[in-house]
Amino acid sequence: MLSQPLFRNVLCQEDFKSSAGGAHCFPDLRVGVFKEIVPMGIDPKIVSYKETGIHLSPQEFHREVEQYLSQVTQGQSDTILLDCRNFYESKIGHFQGCLAPDIRKFSYFPSYIDENLELFKDKRVLMYCTGGIRCERGSAYLRSKAVCREVYQLKGGIHKYLEEFPDGFYRGKLFVFDDRYAICSNEDIISACRYCGVLWDQYKLCSSQHCRQLVLTCPSCFNKGLTACCPVCQEKALKVTSRASGQTLKEECECTRRRPRVPIEHVSPRMLDTGKD
């Protein structure tokens, strides 16, 4: 790609990320043209990636987080460390002391900012996501509200940070959107089995064909048949397997319906957890 004239002045070597995997994780190649790589639901002409926050290298971001955690411990921080990903991503891995919105889709992020705007007033915001793509739009949207003192974002995202700081301030696994589900850089497990509470961070798809949400179920619970994300889905899965197979339609499950679409935060940065989960 670097040798092609189309990309020569756009891409550089540091734009590429590498991690352990294999052909079984990527069975095919698809090239698509989209208005938004990760849909935020707002026209790019209205909120442009050209109006992003200040990009910080992994080294610069590491220093900022180190300073932030030190200040929070002393109750003096004017900074928010903001995770731009979905709840199921931050659930298995995140930066210490971060504010991780309990949202299911990135398209909910603008509403989350709007509903919690007072939280960001006059603050320095350090934003991060998996590879930096969501921060391009997310930081631009936050800046468009003109309430933050400064907005920064991690260049290359968590992925690039872990390449340089595998045992830094990011703890747990990094969620990825392929058949691996997660990649590991440290031994910390910060999430638990949905059923028994034992430490566990390996996702499986909900066993209900109607749902297919991600669920954390440890081997012991899985072997007991606890394979769904909620009781309703568990019951549906049993009914489906007990009758002749047929076409099923995807629908919202109980745990999705009861989750607030846009949570209202009732915390201040001083209250955020700065220790290891």
Determine how many CB atoms are found less than 10 A away from the CB of residue 51: 14
Instruction: For residue 5, give both structure tokens.
Output: 């004239």
CA dihedral 34, 210, 89, 257 (to 10 degrees): 100
pLDDT value of residue 77: 86
DSSP 159-197: HHHHHH-TTSSEEEPEE-SSTT-EE-SSS----B-TTT-
pLDDT tens-digit map of 208-260: 877 778 999 999 999 999 988 888 888 776 665 544 455 555 556 767 767 67
129 in catalytic set: yes
Instruction: Answer yes or no: is pLDDT of 18 > 90.
Output: no
Buried b (16+ CB within 10 A) or exposed e, 77-106: bebbbbbbbbebbbbbbbbbbbbbbbbeeb
How far is residue 166 from each of residues 105, 155, 159, 163, 170, measured CA to CA in Å?
27, 16, 10, 6, 8
- The pLDDT assigned to 9 comes to 85
CA 178/CA 50 separation, integer angstroms: 28
Kindly report the pTM of this predicted structure.
0.86
Percent of the chain with pLDDT over 70: 88
Q: How far apart are CA 129 and CA 152, in angstroms?
A: 12
Those residues with Cβ within 8 angstroms of residue 43's Cβ, 6 or more apart along the chain or in another chain: 35
Lowest mean pLDDT among 14-28, 76-90, 121-135, 238-252: 238-252
| Catalytic residue, candidates 84, 129, 193, 233 | 129
Q: pLDDT-derived band of residue 274, with 50, 70 and 90 as boundaries?
A: very low
Alpha carbons 73 and 52: distance in angstroms, whole number: 29
pLDDT band at 271 (very low <50, low <70, confident <90, very high): very low
Express each pLDDT in 181-214 by its tens digit: 899 888 899 999 999 999 999 999 888 877 778 9
N-terminal to C-terminal alpha carbon distance within the chain: 40
Residue 254, pLDDT score: 66
